[in-house]
Structure 1
Amino acid sequence: MTVTTETTAVVRRYIEIWNERDAARRAAAMEAALTGDSVYSDPDYEGLQGHAALSEAIDRAQERFGDLRFELGEVLGAHHGHVLFTWRLGAPGAEPAATGYDAAEIAADGRLRRVVGFF
């Protein structure tokens, strides 16, 4: 699988979930970007399952990071139902406060099933 506009679009939708502060809009965005049985892991969280658990983690991140926003960096590659991409966290136009890589599994329906973050 090469990087397609559909792959980039779902990754972009996923990144925007981290910026959405309205719970109802975030829930709708999660439905569009993540399977219902999705799993999220990063150095702080091991195996958050489902939308509710990830949404709670995002709430905590937003409290911690204030007005900083996540941006998609680059979709580095995609193959066999997986995608690797970079992201930045920071104020618009400023040097990023943090950067990272995520590897994600893409389900047959085009949504993300598993995301593993590195920062």
Structure 2
Amino acid sequence: MTDINNIAKGYIELWNERTPSRRREMLATTWTADATYVDPLMSGEGHEGVDALIAGVQQRFPEFRFKLIGEPNGYGDRLRFCWGLGPDGVDSPIKGTDFAVLKDGRIQSITGFLDQVPQSA
């Protein structure tokens, strides 16, 4: 059985990983080679495409970190979880909900929704 809590935690850790080589290792372990990511602002395909998206978000928000909000839930090969992005120690100014499709316990696709984005972001 797939552990949705570990998958969601690993996803957040991936977006917070600042060392490119370590981030690519994490992608290779936890995402399928043909994985896709899409949200209202960006999209990427494969490990290289997803890695480039993460690097771009980290560059745009260098002092921000992702965190899980609430508990992930899912069934079968589907997973849903909420996240926040912001400085440590304060309520996250940016929040979203991501839906994952899993294949063999790895992320095959992510569809992200932005629930809260300040105009200044």
TM-score by length of 1: 0.89
Counterparts of residues 15-54 of structure 1 (less than 5 Å): 15-46=12-43, 48-54=44-50
Q: Check the 8 A contact 2:4/2:72 in 1, yes or no.
A: no
Q: Kindly provide the amino acid, as one letter, of the partner of residue 36 in structure 2.
A: V
- Decide which of 94, 99, 106 is 2:90's aligned counterpart: 94
Query: RMSD over aligned Cα, in angstroms?
Result: 1.5
Q: For 1:47-93, what per-residue CA distance to the aligned partner results, in whole angstroms no more than 9, with x for missing partners?
A: x2101011111111111111100011133421121011000111111
Q: Number of matched residues?
A: 114
Q: What is the aligned partner in structure 2 of residue 104 from structure 1?
A: 100
C-alpha distance in structure 1 between counterparts of 2:12 and 2:29, whole Å: 12
Question: Any runs of at least 4 consecutive aligned residues in structure 1 with deviations exceeding 4 A, and if so which?
Answer: none
Residue segments in structure 2 that go unaligned for 5+ positions in a row: 115-121
Aligned to 2:51: 55
Do the aligned partners of 2:4 and 2:73 also contact (CA within 8 Å) in 1?
no
Q: Distance in 2 between matches of 1:76 and 1:62?
A: 23
Question: Does the CA contact (< 8 Å) of 1:75 and 1:83 recur in 2?
Answer: no
CA shift, 1:113, in A, is 0.5
Aligned partners of 1:92 and 1:84: how far apart in 2?
23
1:79 correspondence with 2:75: yes
What's the % identity of the aligned pairs? 33
Query: Which of 2, 9, 24 does residue 6 from structure 2 map onto?
Result: 9
* Partner Cα distance (1:31, 1:73) in 2: 25
Contact 1:14/1:34, CA 8 A, preserved across alignment: no
CA contact (8 A) 2:5 2:72 kept: no
Say which SS state the counterpart of residue 115 (structure 1) adopts: strand
- Tell me, which stretches of 5 or more residues in structure 1 are unaligned? none
Instruction: Tell which has more relative contact order, 1 or 2 (C-alpha 8 A, sep 6+).
Output: 1
